[in-house]
Chains A and B, each alone.
Chain A
Amino acid sequence: MGKKFTFYPGCSSEGSGVHLDTSTRAVMAKLGFELEDISDWNCCGASVGDLAAGHLPTAALSARNLAQAKEQGDQDVMTACAACYLNTHATNEEIRDNEQSRADLNEALAAAGKSYDGSLHVRHACEVLVNDVGMDAIKAQVSNPLEGLKVAGYIGCQTVRPFAGTERGGDYSEYDHPSFLDDFIKASGAEAVDFENATSCCGGSVAVMKPEQTLHLMHKILSEAKEKQADVIATPCPLCQTNVEMYQDAINKKYGTDFNIPVVFHTQLLAVAMGLDSKKDAALHQNIIPADKLKAMAK
């Protein structure tokens, strides 16, 4: 342990996903990692940048972040956000492997006196937990096991697709029946319910643009969580967390349901299980639907 990462927080870390950021930093520190933020980072372009500006300008956003990161050293870059990971990792590989892209993006970077060669390694925080830490080391830090808490592990899309099942993505998960999130849940001492919709889509940014076309996707996820009697849904993705939480009212209105299921991050579960502070470290006060049962377990 004691490994250092250059950390890319991403836009949601200062807004809708601030509780992912807080709990990730707390859990990573507890596991002995040092995170140094990419200095003066910018947005990754998420999943809509390419529609507005095209591929190259969108990739240039990540190229600047990577050039900044490289200036800070050769240590791996880590991010906890699904979209940040996808874009940063994809651009990193493009610069490393595609000669034309490397030339184009370096020509763009040169406009600000910067350059980047694709030599860093970009990693998702979940992959780091699986490959660098492992469940035994996580369990070793659990002093407050969440006994009796039933959790529906909801991974969503971009955390795992398209990279988690490939060698270049750390090969830590398969796509249809991933186990790593359930492993985190079990490591925290909670019960992971069998959740078939683990990698179903919540609608992503289209849910923000056109909720009327995507509410059925979230309805399916919430229905299964309720049917399996989950106390909370746990997800690693900031957009999944926000969507599945904030649209429950609209879904209830549309489908005549009465969902009021807390949606937390896996790192919030782990922080509580590791005996960390429920507010300062687990940021449980930042879930709009309060996770009362989890909060009651906090030390």
Chain B
Amino acid sequence: MNAVSPTPTKKYDLSFARWVRDNIDGGDRMNMCMQCGVCSGSCPLSDQMDLGPRKIFMMVRAGMKEAVLKSNSFFQCVSCYNCVVRCPREVPVKYILHGLGRLAIQEGYQDKKDVANARFADAFWWSVTTFGKTDERLVPTLYFFSAGFVEGIKKSLANLKIALGMLKTKRMHIGMPHKTKNRGELKAILEKAVEIQARHEGGA
């Protein structure tokens, strides 16, 4: 996989923490964390997280990159922003978790096939880059089948009644996906943004 951040070689090596500070959205405020735990305490799914944000921030500072990037915590985040509005030091917790989650996949610390969120996010991004919009039929279907054919059939059947309800109430349509017309323009903008992001991650 593609290692973009430095891996500390000894305890309390700050190289990874500094990289997070400079490259992860919101990472520049991580130093403000005073370990009060309001973030983990106000998180609706922290009971399903192995570490939770408070521990993660301390472990980043302690140079424990591998243990951090193997955490399941990033992928329990429901983007409720309780942590963001409640943090007394204004650390944008959710943003940092999402950035670290992406890094965990990017650097191969976690395999996409084991991370439902990453497979869902890929299906979503495919729809956005292909049509300019989220297709609420294709994104879940692609996601259901991303874990294999049998799993795909099982998940599709489990959601059949919901899909039929959506069709019946015309909240799901039959036919081609809704599209942004000037997709060439959107594609050019997104490709450039990806290029700039890679440039920054490479240290520029």
Contacts and interface: CB of A to CB of B under 8 A. Distances in A.
B116 A104 contact: no
B171 A18 contact: yes
B32 interface: no
B48 interface: yes
Given A162-B81, A246-B162, A288-B169, A61 B188 contact: no
A40 B182 contact: yes
Interface stretch (B6-14, B33-41, B55-63, B130-138): B130-138
B142 interface: no
A40 B192 contact: no
B197 A57 contact: yes
Interface residues of A, number: 65
A64 B200 CA distance: 21
Interface stretch (A187-195, A206-214, A227-235): A206-214
B61 to A, nearest CB: 22
A176 B2 CA distance: 42
B185 A286 contact: no
Interface string A119-133: 000000000000000
B140 interface: yes
A48 B115 CA distance: 13
Contacts of B181: 40
Interface residues of B, number: 62
Contacts of B54: none
A196 interface: no
Contacts of A249: 161-162
A141 interface: no
For the complex, would chain B's binding face be called helix, strand, loop or mixed by DSSP majority? helix
A16 B136 contact: yes
Interface in B163-192: 165-166, 168-173, 178, 180-182, 185-186, 188-192
* Residue in B78, B102, B117, B182 with the greatest tally of chain A CB atoms within 10 Å: B78
A209 B118 CA distance: 10
B44 A42 contact: no
Interface in A100-119: 104-105, 107-112, 114
Contacts of B16: none
A153 interface: no
Contacts of B45: 206, 213-214
Contacts of A201: 44, 78, 80, 82
A246 B165 contact: yes
B127 to A, nearest CB: 8
5 contacts: A43-B127, A55-B99, A56-B196, A60-B192, A207-B78
Given A52-B125, A55-B25, A108-B190, 7 more contacts: A49-B121, A53-B190, A105-B193, A108-B196, A112-B185, A204-B80, A246-B165
Interface of A: 11-12, 14-19, 40-43, 45-57, 59-61, 63-64, 104-105, 107-112, 114, 157-158, 161-162, 165, 175, 200-201, 203-210, 213-214, 217, 242, 246, 249, 285-288
Interface of B: 25, 44-45, 48, 76-82, 84-86, 95, 98-99, 101-102, 105, 116-118, 120-122, 124-125, 127-128, 132-134, 136, 140, 143, 161-162, 165-166, 168-173, 178, 180-182, 185-186, 188-194, 196-197, 200
